[in-house]
Amino acid sequence: MKFQDYNLNNQIKRALDEMGIHTPTEIQSIAIPKLLNGGRTHVLAQAKTGTGKTLAFSIPLANQINPKQQTVQAVILVPTRELCKQVYSVIAKLTKYRRLKAVEVYGGVSLDRQRREIKSGAQIVIATPGRLMDLYRRRVISFNNVKFVVLDEADRMLDMGFLPDIKYILFEAMKGVSPRLLLFSATMLKQVTKVAHQFSNGEKLVEINVSKDDLTVANCKQYYYKVNSNKQKYSTFVSILKRERPKSSIIFVNTRRWGDKLRKQLSQEKNLYLRFSTLHGDKTQKQRELVLRNFRQKKIDCLIATNVAARGLDIPHVTHVFNFDLPREGPEIYVHRIGRTSRMEGEGKAISLAVNDQMTMLRKIEDLTKRPIQRLYFSDKPKKSKQSKSKKSKPNQSTSFHENKMKSQLTIHASD
| DSSP-based three-state secondary structure for 104 | strand
pLDDT (0 to 100) of residue 333: 83
Residues of the chain with pLDDT under 50: 212-214, 382-398, 402-416
Closest among 198, 202, 161, 168 to 183, alpha carbons compared: 198
Amino acid 102 reads: A
pLDDT (0 to 100) of residue 107: 86
| DSSP-based three-state secondary structure for 335 | helix
pLDDT (0 to 100) of residue 38: 66
Tell me the C-alpha to C-alpha distance, in Å, between residue 374 and each of 169, 221, 243, 245, 321: 44, 9, 17, 19, 15
Residues contacting 292, CB < 8 A, separation 6+: 82, 279, 313
Q: How far apart are CA 59 and CA 16, in angstroms?
A: 9
* Inter-residue long-range contacts of 341-347, CB under 8 Å, 24+ positions, other chains counted: 341/217, 341/220, 341/250, 342/50, 342/217, 342/218, 342/219, 342/220, 343/50, 343/314, 343/315, 343/316, 343/318, 344/25, 344/50, 344/51, 344/52, 344/316, 345/219, 346/219, 346/316, 347/219, 347/220, 347/221
Domains and CATH numbers, the chain: 3-209 (3.40.50.300), 220-407 (3.40.50.300)
The predicted model scores a pTM of: 0.63
Q: How far apart are CA 288 and CA 311, in angstroms?
A: 15
Q: How far apart are CA 408 and CA 401, in angstroms?
A: 11
What does 6-36 look like in DSSP terms, one character per residue? SS--HHHHHHHHHTT--S--HHHHHHHHHHH
pLDDT (0 to 100) of residue 97: 95
Are 306 and 280 in contact by the 8 Å Cβ rule? The answer is yes
| DSSP-based three-state secondary structure for 189 | coil
Residue 30: how many other CB atoms lie within 10 Å? 18
Host H or E run for residue 348: strand 348-355
Closest among 287, 334, 290, 329 to 310, alpha carbons compared: 334
pLDDT (0 to 100) of residue 114: 93
